[in-house]
Amino acid sequence: MRVFFRLRQTQVTYAPFDYPPGAQYRRATTNPDGQPIPLAGIVANEYVTVPCFALPRVDSTVVEMDRQTDSLIDGGGNVLGNVQTITANADGSEVDTFFGCWIDINQLDNRLPVEVPPNQDGPFDLGDPNPNFRPVPLKQALARNLHLCLIAEIAFDPVAIPLGKDPSNWDKLAQRNLSWSDVGSAQALSTFEIRPTPVGLPADQTPDELMIDWGNLPKGSSAQIYLPAVNVADILAMADRTYTSHRLRRVDDHTLQCETGSVTYVPIPPGSDVAYAGLLSVDVPTAAAQGEIYSVVVRQVTNAFGKLAPPPPRIAVSRAVAAPVAAPSQIEWRQVTGAFQLNIPVKDKRALLLTEERDLSVLRWVAEAIPPYNRWYPVFRRYLTEIAGRVSAFGGNPTKILPSPTGDGRVQPQPPGEVRVAHTGKIAGLVFDHFGDFEGFLLETEESEHRFHSREKEIEQLAERAWRERLRITVWAERDQPHRPLTIIIRQPPAPFSH
């Protein structure tokens, strides 16, 4: 018996089982222990899931990810991994066995690229000419929300999971799909993924829909759905055709306004096999009482079909009977493909500020790894803007929050009498004196070019690497000594220095 745990980028409404051949649920058929092992899920040129294990993750800069093991028995005979033999009791009583994993999304080891390189399972080159093929920490490569979805797959060879089954209708798949967004005087937020309506849907069939249950949201609440890959005019045209009335309206080309209360249905336009990335924003009245918890549930519903069982044979009788009406051989109904829940606790905004500043710092660091052409880029920019708005609403200053993988990007107050200035850009040149010794570097910013002086060997190493790999850096200096670097922040982490 094996259990495979996988993290997804955000909250999802569609997670069908697809192995074999495998996209979201990819696996290697064997590992060094002779066991199947889950691999990072791939759709198009993007890693959309990452497996987590009970044992330490292999270094994917050195070996392929199929070298991962997840089975180990310690000296006391205890199973430490997720490949276990379950021995049945002779009396038929139940046997309980525990499986689990280390969700190492916050570790800063470089493990996975943002885009899928030709060697899609590694080892990944820290010096690859394409920066998007270089491995980065899992959080930068995968996380597109503060709360990620976790799916557990029970992989038991005698009971294979049929293709297309998902956590909503198969007991060998389980999904944790919850998101929290505390409010005091700001919007509640969650990014998400939804499946497009399949292309070529017959005209007499209903498109996929989002069924949003607004739960116990107080009167006066409102919500917006941002879908940059979808034209809102298409959604409204589909809603006009599908419903006699609806409560949807356009905010801009890609943002839909929803009235809250009861249940809202939103038709989903057709598209490719790549899921739509979106952002849900919920405004709760500022008069909401502290201690209240509101919940919004988003479900995706789609068409389902089945065949009717043939009727029992009829016994012939001598008297005349009416000809039976032919029953349809196929029936159709609507079913839920998946769902996620956004919980909205109401708290004192003063208690929320520090956490929100740290979240903004981490998310700004994650955003630095997302290419402008990636489907998540516009969603994440909107997400960051609204998270910054939450910081302001809680009494903070988002302009003072710098990117940081640990959330420690809050600009600290300067010592009395000391004024520091920061310049962000890329190194345009290295400066050497007439003896060939390192003397400093030139930093090109959007405004101008700045020259910094240093004789330190470590600064020379860092500057040379940042110049060679075109890394963006921030240099802090005192205002009265603008050419002397006090602090250097690397916005895109480099590969480890060689010794």
Q: Let me know if domain 420-490 sits in CATH 1.10.3470.
A: no
CATH 2.60.40 in the chain: give the residue spans: 178-307+331-347
Cα separation of 421 and 149, whole Å?
40
> In the chain, which residues fall in CATH 2.40.50?
420-490
Ramachandran area for residue 237 (φ above 0: left; ψ -120 to 50: alpha; else beta):
alpha
Backbone dihedral angles phi then psi of residue 324, each to the nearest 5 degrees? -65, 150
Q: Which ranges of 131-185 would DSSP assign to H, the alpha helix?
A: 138-142
Task: Answer yes or no: are the C-beta atoms of 210 and 13 closer than 8 Å.
Answer: yes
Long-range Cβ contacts of 412-419 (<8 Å, 24+ apart): 418/478, 419/478, 419/479, 419/480
Q: What is the CATH number of domain 178-307+331-347?
A: 2.60.40
Q: Give the contacts of 371 (CB within 8 A, at least 6 positions apart).
A: 114, 115, 132, 377
Burial bucket for residue 76 (CB in 10 Å: 0-12, 13-18, 19+)? exposed
Q: Which tens digits make up the pLDDT trace of 65-100?
A: 999 999 887 777 777 789 988 889 999 999 998 999
Number of helical (H) and strand (E) elements in the chain, helices listed first: 5, 25
pLDDT at 421 over 90: no
Token pair belonging to 4: 């495979």
H or E element at residue 460: helix 457-468
Q: 367 phi and psi, to 5 degrees?
A: -60, -30
In the predicted model, what is the mean pLDDT of the chain?
Answer: 89
**pLDDT, tens digit (0-9, with 9 covering 90-100), for 254-305:** 999 998 989 999 999 999 889 999 999 999 987 778 888 999 999 999 988 7
Q: What is the pTM of this model?
A: 0.79
Whether the pLDDT of residue 497 is over 50: the answer is no
CB 349 within 8 A of CB 395: yes
> What pLDDT score was predicted for residue 231?
96
Nearest CA to 43 out of 13, 9, 3, 67 is that of 9
d(CA 369, CA 387): 18
